[in-house]
Chain A
Amino acid sequence: MLLKDWFAKRPRYSSTGLENSRSRVPDGLMTKCPGCEDAIYNKELEKSLKVCPKCSYHFRLSARERLDITIEAGSLEEYDSDMLSVNPLDFPEYEDKLIKSRHKTGQIDAVITGQASVAGYRTVIAVTDFAFMGGSMGSVVGEKVVAAMERAVDYRLPMLVISASGGGARMQEGILSLMQMAKTGAAVAKLREAELPYIVILTDPTMGGVAASFASLGDVIIAEPGALIGFAGPRVIEQTIRQKLPEGFQRSEFQLKHGFVDIIAARKDMVATLAMLYSFYLD
């Protein structure tokens, strides 16, 4: 840099709203990174498993995308794909929300379960999808997760959960959602009793009733970098204690520091990490 450059006028940026800046990016060509605010070519983003090449911000993935980068192609034998949420409490607007979520995600509810191969190991797997009502757990998510874990016990296979459940227990099914916490917690106890390994990958975000049940019970808990993981949402905590939360609160690195996560693994290293764990448990 030349000395005169120190005095050169630099462009000044005024802060623009997110909506505004997003609209300047041509649709479908580039995506703005929420981490460093740089625009990334979508093609580049796909290649990097939806991780920002500049700041390694991990974008959220749908359950299908997650399966695609985790399991061997074509290896999924899906379970209970016909299971459908109903509206047991006649909760207002629940049906509309379900229909909208189904259209938006192409999924029937917030979890996909099945049997698949990961790094050459056969495993039972359950993947939740934040885009479907926050990945929240109602009767269907609870029932599918439990049924998957019971199959793992029956087939003597390891269990893998990948969580993106920021919505916790699904409010629209009221007390029945709360009971899914006990139900899934009990199913994990069965896995333990059967001496089958249970691995959890926590991704952004995993909160509330899912965090406070099966997602916190892994024999090994892996987190993606920077994922929000906790019991109560940051806004609820701020309202309760009337103070601002420190930077990085409830993020993966915070959870690692406090002893609730075993490993933080970048997305590109996830399958290799799983392979190492499976070989430890199973070979």
Chain B
Amino acid sequence: MVGLMEIERPVKELEGKIAELKNLAETEKIDLSDQISTLEERAEKLKKRLYKNLTPWQKTQMARHPMRPYTLDYAQALFDEYIELHGDRCCGDDKSIVGGFAKLDGRPVIFIGHQKGRNTRENIERNFGSAHPEGYRKAMRLMEQAERFKRPILTFIDTQGAFCGIGAEERGQSEAIASSLCFMSRLKTPIIAVIIGEGGSGGAIGLGVGNRILMLENSVYSVISPEGCAAILWKDAGRAREAAEILKLTASDLKQLGVIDEIIPEPIGGAHNDYEKTIAAVKRAIKRHLSELSVMSAEELVANRYDKFKRMGVVGSIMP
């Protein structure tokens, strides 16, 4: 979290001074309101300046911030009701992908997302948000029901990647992700994918085949982590900062590359500084896209999703 501390430090210092002054004014009964409001103004300006110009690496830190709202925080605040369903009916229940039935302002939807943990105990339970194959198989089971009962699907993406381990390989991590891609592409129901934090490679795209792909302002989405990229390029994972620049992983980069449809702005200071505002903005965006997609027929939805991904990529030709 070094990068983040760096950005947050001057703001935190100023805020500390303001608190000190307020305290002083209180205990000594002196009027410091002028000084306080000057400092407060300065802090606001500083925040605006700092948070509007975050580097890709700083955004990566924001996306990974342990206080950032996670999938279940959204589930709680976004919906009138949410009931979690468990298991892939085959092997187990993967707690790094959660999902279930939800009601968005009265409208039934299927909600699925990666879930990270906030502390060691939770992270052990959630496997740091890195899913095993059964996570994707559970997701497919729920998505199949979404199609059968004509419910839209919302997927929330927040993972450093699908898990790399012996069990994951034995149970077919590749097959699970591949099947999910293939399966999602043909579903006759609207799918909206929202990248709320880290969009880590295959683990992210495994839930990411949507008609609309939205991304929070300080989220990242990439084929490889900046650390992994730096380790390959320069044999030095410590150069992740530079790799983050190269990878074009920020929301604005992805909008330019035509990979995402919309950037959802975050409150100043990032999503973790104001859950309510963040979740409200996410809700507004989802509802808008959902109402646009709701007028499309099943065939149009499938064609729309296919064409959307078909367009992605840049190729040249040897022909002049």
Contact = CB atoms under 8 A, between A and B. Distances in A.
Interface of A: 82-86, 88-89, 91-92, 108, 138-140, 142-143, 146, 169-171, 173-186, 188-190, 192-193, 208-209, 211-217, 229-232, 236-237, 240-241, 245, 249-250, 258-260
Interface stretch (B39-47, B59-67, B177-185): B177-185
B317 interface: yes
Contacts of A89: 246-248
Contacts of B181: 181-182, 184-186, 212-213
A165 B313 CA distance: 19
A186 B305 contact: yes
Given A83-B317, A175-B254, A237-B165, A208 B202 contact: yes
Contact of A231 (B177, B204, B316): B177
Interface of B: 162-166, 168-175, 177-179, 181-186, 201-202, 204-206, 208-209, 221-224, 229, 232-233, 246-249, 253-254, 257, 259, 305-306, 309-310, 312-319
A186 B185 contact: yes
A84 B318 contact: yes
Interface of A is mostly: helix
A232 B178 CA distance: 14
B233 A175 contact: no
A179 B213 CA distance: 12
Contact of A240 (B165, B184, B229, B247): B165
Contacts, number: 187
Contact of B172 (A108, A188, A240, A260): A260
Contacts of A214: 178
Given A88-B314, A260-B174, 13 more contacts: A85-B315, A174-B249, A176-B313, A177-B223, A182-B181, A183-B313, A213-B177, A213-B181, A216-B172, A230-B174, A232-B168, A258-B170, A258-B171
A170 B224 CA distance: 10
Contact of A183 (B170, B249, B310): B310
10 contacts: A82-B319, A91-B246, A139-B312, A171-B232, A176-B257, A178-B201, A178-B205, A186-B310, A193-B186, A209-B201
Contact of B316 (A85, A232, A258): A85
B88 to A, nearest CB: 15
Contacts of A213: 177-178, 181
Contacts of B306: 186, 190
Contacts of B253: 175
A143 B166 contact: no
Nearest to A243: B166
